[in-house]
Amino acid sequence: MSLFKARDWWATTLGNGEEFDQGCLCVADVDNSGSGYDKIVVGSYMGMLRIFSPHPSKPGEPAEADSQLLEVHLKEPVIQVEVGKFVSCSELLHLAVLHPRRLSVYAVSGTSGNIEHGVQYQLRLVYEHNLQRAACNMTYGPFGGVTGHHFICIQSMDGMLMFFEQESYAFGRFLPGFLLPGPLCYCARTDTFITVSSARQVECYRYETLAVATDADTRQDSDQQSKISGKRLQADWTLVLGEQAIDICVPTFSPSACSIFVLGERNLYCLKDNGQIRFMKKLEYNPSCFLPYASIAEGTTNILMGNHNNMLLVYQDVMLKWAAQLSNVPVAVRLANLKGLVVTLSSEGHLQCSYMGTDPSFFTAPRVDAREVNYDEVDTEMRTLQKIIREATRTQGRTEQRAGTKIFWIVCVRTQHGYVGLTANALLSAGAGSQVVVAFSAFLNGRYPPADLGGDVALSYSCPTGVPRVAQCRFTLPLRIVCCPSPPLKNSKYKITLDTNKPPVSLHEVFPGTATTTLSDKEGNALAFQFITGTRVSVMASKTSQRYRIQSESFEDIWLVAKELVQRFELHFAKMGVKDFRNSFAGPIPLSEYFETVDHHFELRVNAEKYQDLLSERAVQFRAIQRRLLTRFKDKTPAPLQNLDTLMEGTYRQIIALADAAEENRAILHQAFARLRSATHLIILLVSLWQGLSSDQTAILEATLLPLLQDTPQLGWEESVDAAVSHLLRTCLSRSSKDQATSLSTSQLSIPKDITRLKKHITLLCDRLGKGGRLSLSSEANTPTPVMMPGAECLPVALVEYLHSGTLFKRMHCLGNHLQHNFFSSTDPLGAPLT
């Protein structure tokens, strides 16, 4: 045990139950404040990212709350954080965050406040790269001698070095003879990468060799195989250590001399840039982390080293200069530009800023008084304390009951602006019995009607007792926010007819504000709405029967009007006191019209994939031409270019044209998916009215046909719906127990070659519902069974959460992820032809 302790300057504990490692700590001026003081960036395996600007605190007192500038949950484990010049169009520092399957680059900025709360910090995503392989660690630097910017190299778990030139992916190379990943570091002076392989030897690879080398193995992806060409990859030099390395560091404080420090499990090595050993130090303890830094003495280097004995040691080359006791085992250590402070981080999340000092820690064991215990007095004291606790508990319960807050929501929407009114009957921040009005604006994303006009409002507040509360409310924007009154059309391409069990009513009464301005007759038998796209939707009421026809030139635009009509009918008859009112649809379900929308969406997805493949091919061709031109220019004996410059210019123009076409297709695809959602909502409404489905059954149908909020390149609507419908056909809508016993494939989904099978499955779903089938969470059709736990043949538990909560986002997100990872299949999940 050391006589001296590390003097605490600032300390805090991060989270509860979170885990950290050596790559989770970074110290730099990440917000580019120019104040000369660094910020501390910490990421955790639980996905939390925190940024601190520490201030000194008194001994024994907790750290001030304003020391934490930012806390963000990134929803994915943070493997490593680094700060550098990672954006091509900026000289500012940016934050790079490495996740297992993603590399994200953020800009951290602060906005000065006008009140006492000071500066507000924000984290803005600049760009990100989705990784095809699981990442282990990363390093960065001016690869290839580039000036003013930093490139990033990521080492995957299977031994591939992936190079990213800021916003673009450059190339990937497999390390020869790879088994397990080790620490990775970049040496800017020699433009080399140093790592320790599973053979327990230090290996050095030049960036130039990596750029022109081919892979030493055959484990490359098909989309990256064409990018890997050239000579066989070989190390520039190797050095056998005989032990596994914990970390590698190349200090940058001396540009004239280069030293490579390798921390082993029992030894510390200092190597020259050619692989020769400069010196080594045998350690008598288990090290946990280290950090070389500049020394005052010329020709020497200071080294901070932490070990598993809670010690922080300071070496000058091989000479021990200082030893201090820490409160925990550090897994990462950094030097901050904060008055020379040492920043340490433990695996449990103890973040500490300390400095070396001569404050000894003397501990004297207290004297033990050998006196007998009076058990009667102890028992009396215990009963008294328990009585006080019970009284305090009852008092707190009565206080919370009196302070119960009731929230009354009043949602009033005026054209493009919405007003949310809040009324409280208990003490909130605005006072008891007060009303608070919050105004917001609603705008359209594009020139097409949205698929949903609903929204959610959440209010978080604290009771007078300090107990946090959350109140939620869902509201619906009015139909007139996306359309306006219009003269009705007599004939249209698409028509649906809704029935009711009550005598016909005038549309004047159902649409009191709109019908008076759109009716062409005085009896209220017709009205129309014109959407922002120019299409019109007409509603016709029969004079003799209880039928209402909705027609339009666009099939998906019927959805919002049909939904509004059904809801207004229910509200109208409910006000009249009619309890047995019912809407219905006689059929048949317009699947052919619906499949036209599905075909259009799928065609755009196929086009997007084709554009992506063409862009990849042209990019590979462009880089190959660049490499050949570079070789020609570097040759001492000039050779003719052989029209390589013309070929490069033509390839560049092709890339720009393809990128523009892909961007245009993406915008059209986004609009097509919104129209597909509207058409799917209409089909769900018609099926529920056709078969009189309950709210639970309608929820199951909606979760099946609308599992995604948005298409992604990894998972699209077609394959998601096909797997979900197939699951229903094998469980609650199956015809035999043999179909129910068929297990579903767990392979990952991909975009199908065509959607013939999807159309067949949706048609079969409607057919079985029309023949008496009923949707349930049980694998047995038409049998009311309780919800089963995961592992049984039933729909996922995420769907059960939707039925209880009713929130759209939770249903989409949870169910989509569950389907993708558990029973989505790119092959026929039914395993047999459907009849």
pLDDT at position 482: 86
> Given the structure tokens 């540009």, which residue do they identify?
255
What sign results for the dihedral spanned by CA atoms 72, 75, 81, 84? negative
Return the HEC string of 320-375.
EEEEEECCCCEEEEEEECCCCEEEEEECCCEEEEEECCCCECCCCCCCCCCCCCCH
Strands in 515-656 per DSSP E: 526-531, 536-541, 547-552, 583-584
Strand partners, 49: 43, 72
Distance CA 74, CA 55 (A): 26
Distance CA 408, CA 421 (A): 8
Residue type at 120 in one-letter notation:
Q
Q: Locate 391 and state its tokens.
A: 């009284």
74 in Cβ contact with 47 (< 8 Å): yes
Distance CA 194, CA 249 (A): 9
726 in Cβ contact with 830 (< 8 Å): yes
Reported as a single tens digit per residue, the pLDDT across 818-831 is 434 443 333 333 33
181 in Cβ contact with 167 (< 8 Å): no
pLDDT at position 577: 87
287: CB partners within 8 A, 6+ apart = 246, 263, 265, 268, 305, 306, 307, 308
Distance CA 621, CA 607 (A): 21
Going by C-alpha positions, the residue among 766, 722, 768, 773 that lies closest to residue 745 is 722
Going by C-alpha positions, the residue among 543, 538, 550 that lies closest to residue 488 is 538
Strand partners, 621: none
88: CB partners within 8 A, 6+ apart = 149, 166, 167
Reported as a single tens digit per residue, the pLDDT across 710-756 is 888 888 999 999 999 998 998 888 877 666 555 555 667 888 999 99
Low-confidence ranges of the chain (pLDDT < 50): 1, 216-230, 399-404, 415-417, 424-427, 515-520, 780-835
Local structure of residue 269 (DSSP, 8 states): E
pLDDT at position 57: 64
Local structure of residue 819 (DSSP, 8 states): I
Concatenated DSSP letters for 597-610? HHHHHHHHHHHHHH
Label residue 33 exposed, middle or buried (CB < 10 Å: 0-12, 13-18, 19+): middle
Distance CA 802, CA 810 (A): 7
pLDDT at position 79: 95
Distance CA 528, CA 507 (A): 11
550 in Cβ contact with 539 (< 8 Å): yes
DSSP-based helix, strand, coil % in the chain, nearest 5: 30, 30, 40
Q: Locate 740 and state its tokens.
A: 């129910």
Question: At CA 707, angle to CA 457 and CA 74, rounded to 5?
Answer: 60
Strands in 244-317 per DSSP E: 245-249, 259-264, 267-272, 277-282, 287-294, 301-307, 311-316
Residue 697's H or E segment, with its range, is helix 695-705
What number of residues does the chain have? 835
pLDDT at position 513: 66
